Amino acid sequence: MRTFTNRNLIELTNKGYTKLRVLEDKEVSELISECESLHTTYNNDEWINRGVTYPSKGHAKKKSAILMISVDENKELPSTNDIGNVLRDYTSYNNDIISRVTGIKVPQSTRHMINFRQYLGKTEPVFEHFDGEYLKGFIDRKDYHFFDEALLPRFVSLLTLKGGGRCEGAVLVNVVSGEEVNTCVEVGEMVIFNNIKFKHQVPKLIEPRILLGMRTFDYLPYHYILEPKDGYVSLGDKINYGYVKPIGSGEATKLILNKTK
């Protein structure tokens, strides 16, 4: 049974991250198959144009499938709730965790962006970055991300589906201190972290590895802007040196819809 203990709650609230086991071996295999099936179904121009699938760069040693999903149908923003049972349960579990941490119930129609990423071995590092829905002025360089406006999710979860145990997985980088935290997760374990307090990166991987990232831009995210404004505070990052403010889900939905017009 998946649990989120008081210890996990205290760690996520105070330290900004926590690690826990969420899948058994059989579920891991099933979830990999479900994600591969989603990629086969939705990785085409029709679903990219609808905004359900996000195009991803091809790479000889790295493959990604990026989609918007939800447990129940979302009638306002593009997503699919035609997902497998393990992915559905895992998404619902993430909703429950965020509900418990924020004290506000996350609707099951809330969208999550999933990134099913397969590292095929001897892959180059993924540099430190904030996950976000980049609304304006996004630049993707070899060594940094820069954006003028974005929706930053409060939390990001990373689940290891293959290749755990070598401490080669995601590394969290404290925005203020620069301190690095190596999450060292095993297969079937996830780390969930505060996406405002930490950026994350993936070092050069020697062995193959599969990660499933999950985050929601729609549910009570932080709005990031480049110039100071009343109600906004400094993000504190040296690269993305702008300002953030928590906003409601309704305002976030309007910003996303305006982007897609």
Q: What value does the mean pLDDT take over residues 110-114? A: 97
Q: What value does the mean pLDDT take over residues 60-89? A: 94
Would the pLDDT of 57 be above 80? no
25-42 and 85-102 are packed helices; what angle lies between their axes, rounded to 10 degrees? 100
| Chain Cα centroid distance, residue 251 | 20
Residue position matching structure tokens 């430190």: 128
DSSP 8-state code for residue 205? B
Q: Does 1 fall in a domain?
A: no
**What is the predicted pLDDT for the residue at 1?**
54
**Residue 63 pLDDT level (bands cut at 50, 70, 90):** confident
> How many helices and strands in the chain, by DSSP H and E?
5, 18
Domain count, the chain: 1
Residue position matching structure tokens 């070092």: 203
Q: Does 36 fall in a domain?
A: yes
H runs (alpha helix) in the chain: 6-10, 25-42, 45-50, 85-102, 249-260
Range of the domain at 42: 6-260
For 133-247, strand residue ranges (E) read 133-136, 139-140, 145-146, 149-152, 155-162, 171-174, 180-182, 189-194, 198-202, 209-215, 222-225, 233-234, 243-246
- Please tell me the total number of residues recorded for the chain in this structure: 261
Helix (H, G, I), strand (E, B) or coil at 59: strand
Helix (H, G, I), strand (E, B) or coil at 172: strand
**What is the predicted pLDDT for the residue at 55?**
85
Q: What value does the mean pLDDT take over residues 180-209? A: 90
- Sign for the CA dihedral angle at 75, 79, 84, 86 comes to negative
Q: What value does the mean pLDDT take over residues 169-190? A: 90
CATH for 162: 2.60.120.620
Q: Does 172 fall in a domain?
A: yes
Q: How far apart are CA 95 and CA 111, in angstroms?
A: 10
Q: Does 37 fall in a domain?
A: yes
Would the pLDDT of 123 be above 90? no
